Amino acid sequence: MVSESRTDDNPAAFSRRLLRTRERAALATSWRGVPYASLVLFAADLDASPLLLLSDLAQHSRNIGFDPRISLLLDATEGHADPLTGPRLTLIGRAEAIDEPRRFARFIAHHPMSSIYSGFGDFRLYRLIVERAHLVAGFGQIRWIEGRDLLFAGDASELAAAEPEILEHMNEDHADVIANCARHLLGREGTEWRMTGIDPEGIDLHRDGETARLDFATPVLTAEAARAALVQLAANARK
């Protein structure tokens, strides 16, 4: 469940964390001028922009070809007896087809099963250029957020370039540290946890269809800062 403690203090940061902890969404496109909704997987880029891997054969992709304006609904209401009291986030913007190996690899890392079909010629990667977001964090907690305020604004290019090496190093050499962090910081048992992503605000973990996230105390933008943040998480897990 996404914590609601920071909703009022910083709705953009709250929304960004909600975005980073989701992996599926309802995608709304336009079919002959009529709203068309479908289920899609997505991964958040380092700045939290949603990345989608879609088949050209799918109806929603055909719709995007005619009108790139789309909307994504992210549902974080699990654990609430009344779902309408839980948080959800609607993103509005334009879908942009991109051909960038780094972002493609990031999507595959977050959705390992997609590697089965990601190489098919009809699949392409899209990035949602977020223009506005509508956060409903519960009754009476409703905010519009501009896209420039929602996304992480720092220059994460150095961290993005270092991400593959960081993931390989942590998964190959420090799998025990990842499992220990999942167990003691998140209460998630198991030893098969893998680190699937790192961004300025935290790391993403995956184990047999289960996902988890650990936040950094402060944002990181370089490989050296990321190393220090990971060391701190490991230390916290030993307390």
Domain membership flag for residue 51: yes
What is the arithmetic mean of pLDDT over 115-120? 94
Indicate if 117 and 161 belong to the same structural domain: no
Higher-pLDDT residue of 96, 137: 96
Domain membership flag for residue 185: yes
State the DSSP code for 154: S
Range of the domain at 41: 11-150
Burial category of 125 from C-beta neighbours within 10 Å (exposed 0-12, middle 13-18, buried 19 and up): buried
Burial category of 152 from C-beta neighbours within 10 Å (exposed 0-12, middle 13-18, buried 19 and up): buried
Please indicate, yes or no, whether the overall pTM of this predicted structure exceeds 0.85: yes
Q: Burial code of 4-19, b = ≥16 C-beta within 10 A, e = fewer?
A: beebeeebbebbbbbb
Confidence (pLDDT) at 190: 86
Indicate if 58 and 113 belong to the same structural domain: yes
What is the band of 139 on the pLDDT scale with cuts at 50, 70, 90? Answer: confident
The average confidence (pLDDT) of the chain is: 94
What is the band of 5 on the pLDDT scale with cuts at 50, 70, 90? Answer: very low
- What CATH number is associated with residue 161? 3.20.180.10
Nearest 10 degrees: CA dihedral of 193, 194, 199, 201?
10
Question: Residue 98: is its pLDDT beyond 60?
Answer: yes
- What CATH number is associated with residue 47? 2.30.110.10
What digits encode the pLDDT tens for the residues 25-41?
999 999 999 999 999 99
For residue 44, the surrounding DSSP H or E stretch is strand 43-44
State the DSSP code for 33: T
CA distance 215 to 4: 15
Indicate if 42 and 95 belong to the same structural domain: yes
CA angle, corner 220, sides to 229 and 136, nearest 5?
105
Question: Residue 4: is its pLDDT beyond 50?
Answer: no
Domain membership flag for residue 2: no
Confidence (pLDDT) at 7: 62
Question: Residue 3: is its pLDDT beyond 60?
Answer: no
Indicate if 127 and 32 belong to the same structural domain: yes
Indicate if 120 and 192 belong to the same structural domain: no
CA distance 236 to 239: 5
| Count of domains for the chain | 2
Indicate if 140 and 196 belong to the same structural domain: no
CA angle, corner 141, sides to 9 and 34, nearest 5?
125
- What the block records as the tokens of 205 is 């973990």
Indicate if 146 and 170 belong to the same structural domain: no
Indicate if 165 and 201 belong to the same structural domain: yes
Confidence (pLDDT) at 2: 57
